[in-house]
Structure 1
């Protein structure tokens, strides 16, 4: 007898992932979500996953919207308490 509802353990063909643990591209996915980036639309996108992540990290690190100065982090001479 076959189960009516089967838990999907594999990905769909055409979904590409980059496995961080094995440092390889996978169609499917083969490895757990904690060990991979994706899904990507193509094998080529998955092959460049580490470069894409590095570029996004650089954008984040240099984006002023993500780096608001909190109390005690203002540079010398800056007033952290605006006038009332």
Structure 2
């Protein structure tokens, strides 16, 4: 018996964005590695890539993740 069962039918109201097919899906249709979600609405899922880009930009510009003292210790130059 498997420890984890794969859900073959999604819950109504759970929305995902499939990275492989670039489509919105209700319930998990594609494998987990190929999707973002779950989202509460179809609209939120349709903007998944936009949301990911915004979050990546926030992370890239977050000073907590780019410590100046660490840069200075390593010589301060990107190689």
Q: TM-score range by the shorter chain?
A: 0.7 to 0.9
CA distance in 2, matches of 1:14, 1:74: 49
Could you report, residue by residue, the CA deviation over 1:21-53 in whole angstroms, capped at 9, with x for unpaired residues?
000000011001100000000000000000000
Q: Which has the higher helix share?
A: 2
Q: Name segments (4+ residues, structure 1) moved above 6 Å.
A: none
CA distance in 1, matches of 2:14, 2:75: 44
RMSD of Structure 2 on Structure 1 (CA): 1.5
TM-score, length-scaled by structure 2: 0.79
Structure (1 or 2) with the larger CA radius of gyration: 1
TM-score, length-scaled by structure 1: 0.74
| Unaligned residue ranges in structure 1 (runs of 5+) | 1-6, 76-84
Could you report, residue by residue, the CA deviation over 1:28-80 in whole angstroms, capped at 9, with x for unpaired residues?
110011000000000000000000000000100100001124331436xxxxx
Number of equivalenced pairs: 69
